[in-house]
Structure 1
Amino acid sequence: MSRPFPRWLPGLLLTAALPAIAHAQTQTEAPEYGPELQGFDYPYTLKHFAFESQGQSLQMGYMDVAAHGKANGRSVVLMHGKNFCGATWDSSIKALSDAGYRVIAPDQIGFCSSSKPAHYQYTFQQLATNTQQLLKALGIQKATLLGHSTGGMLATRYALQYPEQVEQLALVNPIGLEDWKALGVPYRTVDQWYERELKLSADGIRNYERSTYYGGRWKPEFDRWVDMLAGLNKGPGHTQVAWNSALIYDMIFTQPVYYEFQNLQMPTLLLIGTSDTTAIGSDIAPPEVKAKIGHYDVLGKQVAKLIPRSTLVEFPGMGHAPQMEEPAQFHQALLAWLNKTNPVR
């Protein structure tokens, strides 16, 4: 049975991690957005960085927000998760800018407002290289990285690849705190991921995120982000979006960073919502495997012991995105650590 996949496909999407979305039978009406999230309002001016990669002309959407008030001369780069975008950092951008930081929030290739090419070898090393090229073009030589979910895996890889350019590393409920394939989660082919992604609906996304990300709770402000993801997936570029999403899931599953946490040398902060149960492939894992993966109340403590200069801050009862669930509490903890570990410039 052949896969209905077009040979074209310019464009992209990268964000946190959505291990197994339950697809609801009914679909709530949601807006439709273009293949590069055209029509969706970003909280700050959206710019585009054009560059060459793997023989293709690509572009990354990004926000570059100056410090509000007295600038401290430091920059923070925000790395979104699989089912998120640079835009989902809106409250964090404001908090960091108000505290004097320049904030860069890119959409990775394959995600949101960025290109989604028909053919691309997705690796965390490639995405780190893309981001480093963006920062170089913006004149940023050193920065603090803040990565959420899949963005936590990317931020870890970036810090390992460019350690001299990373002053501090902060990881918010990063996925990759365990190696799912080594623990017995079955492999999905890219074609299987693609067929699964074609079926995404707003109701399915909302139900999955409510149960897995927010411990069964929901706030009205979360609906904007469901509409963002659902609108991208049901818009005119839905096959491009689904195909790139499938390639990205394969990257996440097959390229663990778990074994290299011990090599991180910069001050590292783990910000962990303890009720998070995110685990790639948990929906198809055997019961005995599913029962032992995705326990962030345990994973945060375990990985904190692996990272030499780590600090662990837990948010009891919070889910996969504490920066969105309780922004004030989250940013208080983040800014306190950033100030405490402020590198000598």
Structure 2
Amino acid sequence: MFRRWLPALLLAAALPLHAAETKVTYGPELERFNYAYPVGHFSFVSQGKHVHMAYIDVKPAKPNGRTLVLLHGKNFCAGTWEASIAALTGAGYRVVAPDQIGFCKSTKPEHYQYSFQQLATNTHALLDKLKVHGKVTMLGHSTGGMLATRYALMYPQQVEQLVLVNPIGLEDWKALGVPYRTPDQWYERELKTNADSIRKYEQATYYAGQWKPEYDKWVNMLAGLYNGTGHERVAWNSALQYDMIFTQPVVYEFGQIQAPTLLLIGTKDNTAIGKDIAPPELRDKLGNYAELGKRTAQAIPHATLVEFDNLGHAPQIQDPQTFHAALLKGLADVKH
């Protein structure tokens, strides 16, 4: 009997781990998914609602006196910065990494007027609560890059350096001709999100066609939110966030950034919001980071561009060693 089942058992053992995990479920605030670092919660009132903002705050064993605030992207969380937190704290930096309202382990409001100004205000309040009163380095990835830019524009005296890692919003998609989706249309789209669709998109965009088993952890993190009992609230907040991203460009204000800026760009990235419904003649022209990085470096007054020729939208995850070497050098080079 055992011999009869042995081939099937061996085949099952050889299957990728993610195949058995695509139906994992987490609560609407990522309950049961653990980050590598302790999570705190900042409770406050925003837009008449009692909300809480999850965050990671890690202090180094040998402080160098500088603090970095890590702002996650649309499909990322504070927890996805785990490798960067280790590299930065090991080099003496204090690291604060929040989950923005509507994301990950933070409150998913039933109704919320999302704007980058509101999220920047929330982040500023968190830093005040943590008694981070001096200048900080704001590091934003993807959508977090748009937020970091807005923060630097709103609080220029508090930002000693701006670091943008494959930020989106380097072009105005609506002005270029990408059709508008209503929040209701985004919501219907988001309700269809699953592990397979997440993995397919991330492989093509985040990792330049490559895939490693360790990426599945982050696929399952997101899929678990959409599989869980709070999936409708998760999808609705995601829809409102996409509307914010699409309708609130920062590209026209790059020239007003005062802080020295480090641009870390994986040139294989092709991210563009709404690309899937863009006219065919426009689609292939969107999200060309090999060109957008250079254009942005020219637009920001005190910018330094570092390009990773073989990396995609998430260089900090795809090649942590190369990415962190460039990041730490860029941080050390800033003039105080």
Q: Does 1:217 align with 2:210?
A: yes
Query: Hey, what's the Cα distance between the residues in 2 that align with 1:223 and 1:284?
Result: 27
Task: Number of aligned residue pairs: give it.
Answer: 317
Structure 1 residue 252 corresponds to structure 2 residue 231: no
Equivalent positions of 1:279-290 (< 5 A) are 279-290=272-283
Q: Secondary structure at the match of 1:283?
A: helix
What do the CA deviations read for 1:151-175 (whole angstroms, capped 9, x no partner)?
A: 0000000000000010100000000
When normalised by structure 1's length, the TM-score is 0.91
Task: Output one character per residue of 1:191-238: Cα deviation in whole Å (capped at 9) or x when no partner.
Answer: 000000000010010011111221211011100000000001111100
Report the equivalent of 1:10: none
Indicate conservation of the 8 Å contact 1:143/1:166, yes or no.
Answer: yes
Say which SS state the counterpart of residue 116 (structure 1) adopts: coil
Are 2:119 and 1:127 equivalent residues in the alignment? Answer: yes
Match of residue 263 from structure 2: 270
Return the match for 2:83 from 83, 87, 91.
Answer: 91
Displacement of 1:27 after TM fit? 10
| Cα pair distance change 1:201/1:27, threshold 3 Å | farther
Pick aligned residue for 1:76 from 60, 68, 74? 68
- Hey, which of these two has a bigger chunk of helix by percent? 2
The residue aligned with 1:40 is 33
Task: State the shift of 1:281 in Å.
Answer: 0.2
- Residue of structure 2 in register with 1:113 after alignment: 105
**Structure 2: distance between partners of 1:331 and 1:257:** 26
Contact 1:149–1:172, Cα closer than 8 Å, also in 2 = yes
1:138 correspondence with 2:116: no
Q: Which amino acid aligns with 2:85?
A: I
2:55 and 2:78 in contact (8 A); partners too: yes
Name the aligned partner's letter for residue 291 of structure 2.
V
Q: Shift in Å at residue 268 of structure 1?
A: 0.1
Give 5+ residue unaligned stretches, structure 1. 1-25
Q: Deviation of residue 99 (structure 1)? A: 0.4
Task: Report the AA paired with residue 129 of structure 2.
Answer: A
Determine which of 35, 47, 55 is the counterpart of 1:54: 47
Counterpart in the other structure of 2:294: 301
- State the SS of the aligned residue for 2:64: coil
Question: Could you tell me how far 1:28 is from its partner in structure 2?
Answer: 6.3
Contact 1:28 1:203 in 2 (8 A): no
One-letter code aligned to 1:114: S
Question: Alignment partner of 1:191: what SS?
Answer: helix
| One-letter amino acid of the structure 2 residue matched with residue 226 of structure 1 | V
Kept after mapping to 1: 8 A contact 2:22/2:223: no
The letter for the 1-side match of 2:331 is L
Give 2:10's aligned residue: none
**Residues 210 and 56 of structure 1, relative CA distance in 2, 3 Å threshold:** same
8 Å contact 1:27–1:201 — kept in the other structure?
A: no
Is 1:187 matched with 2:186?
no
Over residues 307-343 of structure 1, what are the superposed CA-to-partner deviations in whole Å (9 max), with x where a residue is unaligned?
0000000000200000000001101111111111052
Partner SS state of residue 28, structure 2: coil
Contact 2:21–2:220 (8 Å) recurs in 1:
no
Alpha-carbon separation, structure 1, partners of 2:93 and 2:23: 35
CA-atom RMSD, angstroms?
A: 1.1
Structure of larger gyration radius: 2
Which amino acid is the alignment partner of residue 230 of structure 1? A
Tell me how far 1:108 sits from its aligned partner. Answer: 0.2
Q: Secondary structure at the match of 2:286?
A: coil
